[in-house]
Structure 1
Amino acid sequence: MKILVTGGTGFIGSALINALKEHDITVLSRNPTKASQNLGSRINAVASLDQFENLDNFEAVINLAGEPIINKRWSPQQKKKICHSRWDLTEQLVKKIQAGNQPPHTFISGSAVGIYGDQQNTVIDESFTISDHVNHDDFAHHVCQQWEDIANEACSDQTRVCLLRTGIVLGKHGGALVKMLPPYQLGLGGPIGNGSQYTPWIHLQDMVDAIVFLLDNTSATGAFNLTAPEPVTNKVFSQSLAKALRRPHILFTPAFVLKLALGEASSLLLEGQRAIPQKLQALGFDFSYRDIDSALKNIVAA
């Protein structure tokens, strides 16, 4: 299958491309030479979509690109960067898909569980009515809702759209866990705030396998929660990570400290979603890592 991937050099994208090695992959990258060096010579790397009149030459498009949402404080400039790194590229892809006569049969595009806002203990599957229960001034919701709305414009009789409402992706060599590990390895780890907020998570292997599953399953369409079946509170997550590392678990990070450090962006860590992957499981997807203990044990051992 001929597949166009954006965000292919990132934490998730590079793992995905490795899993798609039997396919003909083109990666959109600001640095095609570096992308080819990192991903292998079999990858065709391009710097711009401008070289394509349409995307009829591709059977599928997987859109994972976007400025990291938690790396910096949400200044007005950073918020704009977070938004437009997602919205503008997705809009370009949609227009290229719409411009063709034989467009890709599948468009898989990123999103996040942040679209649900802070829902505390409420169990959330994909049937959750977002418009009735979410504060629309919530920045994470705003980013994801607009991102999904743009992506859905690619939907037609010829193209199905799958949206990846992703939780925290856990892996050894990237993502959120890399930033969490140092204090835990020093025995300084602990829950954030009171630790009662839910942490929707997914192992990198399951994340990749789920994307491939959606790519291959022609009946899959719409939004999917890419989260493990057993979300846990931040306190349980923290205890499990300390246990996997065989370190003490006696400290905690007060909410006010996090707010001072990250400002509004601290809401991503102090709020949460008890999201479950109802649609994935209904289609028959089998998770390799359903519970947090087995996931963290695997990652730490690696």
Structure 2
Amino acid sequence: MRILITGGSGFIGRELVTLLRKQNDTIFVYTHKKQITNNLGFSNDISILQASDDFPDVDVIVNLAGESIAQKRLSQKRLNEILKSRLDTIDLLAEKYAENFPAHFLQASATGIYIDNCEQDEKGELANTVYADICKNIEKKANELKNEFQAAISILRIGVVVGDGGGLVENLKYLPTLHLIGGSNYIPYLKISDCAKAIKLIIEKKIQGNINLCSDHYLTANELLKLSSSSKHLTVPVPKFALKLDKRGELLLTNQRIFPATLKENGFVFDHF
């Protein structure tokens, strides 16, 4: 199978490229950071693409591209950049493949689209927060491709991804273990290896629609922070109001028990911690 992965130099993208290469798929990686990608150790048979290149015919696109939520403070300007970068990538792909759009398109979204304080699956109620609105706009744009190109669309509603080399672990590696005072709220999460395996399953079975990519084993914010921290000794208590000083911290204040019903229905087995 010929697969284009946008955002292939990112945390999830790197893991997915490595996994798909093991089954001899032909992989193309689109990135605007070609120099960084060249330093990641990708094998020579993986083609690195930039916007100015001609894009090859592919069977599947996995669109993970977009400005990182974690790298900078989330001002309104930054939130606009995060949304625009994702919408612009979808537009670019629609332009590049106007005459030969692939049969299957996978678009990254997030579990932040759901409301708090209840347990729900893919049929759950959507929130009206700034993060949910970003997800809704991205998903709407991706779903428009179904009518325009008659493509199968898979929306990947991804939780907090945990693993070495990126995500929450990377952000916490120089800090002591943080303990939220009253941090009994639940955070949707999954291991980086499970994230890549789930995407692989979605490609293989051509699973369409909204798909929750999060573990079926619920963790509280404090359990997740402890799991993600490299410090095994020093623990620092943090009041919840301190996280509200930066919108990125608010992502650890959600209270969501999101169930991956579609993955479970399709036989996915999680590799729990």
Same fold at TM > 0.5? yes
CA contact (8 A) 1:94 1:151 kept: no
Q: Could you say which residue in structure 1 is the equivalent of 2:63?
A: 63
Q: CA deviation at 1:160?
A: 0.7
Q: Could you say which residue in structure 2 is the equivalent of 1:28?
A: 30
Q: Could you say which residue in structure 2 is the equivalent of 1:298?
A: none
Q: CA deviation at 1:239?
A: 5.0
1:230 to 217, 221, 232: 217
Q: Could you say which residue in structure 2 is the equivalent of 1:113?
A: 111
- Does residue 233 of structure 2 align to residue 247 of structure 1? yes
Q: TM-score, normalised by structure 2?
A: 0.90
Q: Relative to structure 1, is the Cα distance of residues 208 and 241 closer, same or farther in structure 2, using a 3 angstrom cutoff?
A: closer
Give the letter for the 1:67 counterpart: E
Q: Unaligned stretches of 5+ in structure 2?
A: none
Q: How does 1:103-252 map to 2 (within 5 A)?
A: 103-117=101-115, 119-120=116-117, 122-130=118-126, 134-135=127-128, 138-156=129-147, 158-184=150-176, 189-218=177-206, 220-240=207-227, 246-247=232-233, 249=235, 251-252=236-237
Kindly, what percent of the aligned residue pairs are identical? Answer: 30
Give the letter for the 1:4 counterpart: L
Question: Tell me, what secondary structure is at the counterpart of 2:250?
Answer: helix
What is the distance in 2 between the residues matched to 1:11 and 1:240?
Answer: 18
Q: CA deviation at 1:246?
A: 4.2
Q: Unaligned stretches of 5+ in structure 1?
A: 290-294, 296-302
CA contact (8 A) 1:28 1:45 kept: yes
CA contact (8 A) 1:36 1:44 kept: no
What is the distance in 1 between the residues matched to 2:243 and 2:139?
Answer: 29
Give the letter for the 2:123 counterpart: S
Q: CA deviation at 1:194?
A: 1.6
Q: Could you say which residue in structure 1 is the equivalent of 2:244?
A: 259
- Does residue 32 of structure 2 align to residue 40 of structure 1? no
Q: Relative to structure 1, is the Cα distance of residues 33 and 79 closer, same or farther in structure 2, using a 3 angstrom cutoff?
A: closer
Question: Tell me, what secondary structure is at the counterpart of 2:217?
Answer: coil
Larger strand percent: 2
Q: CA deviation at 1:72?
A: 2.1
Q: Could you say which residue in structure 1 is the equivalent of 2:251?
A: 268
Question: Tell me, what secondary structure is at the counterpart of 2:175?
Answer: helix
What is the distance in 1 between the residues matched to 2:248 and 2:166?
Answer: 20
What is the distance in 1 between the residues matched to 2:20 and 2:239?
Answer: 42
Larger helix percent: 1
Q: Relative to structure 1, is the Cα distance of residues 169 and 71 closer, same or farther in structure 2, using a 3 angstrom cutoff?
A: same
Superposed CA RMSD in Å reads 2.2
Count residues with an aligned counterpart: 269
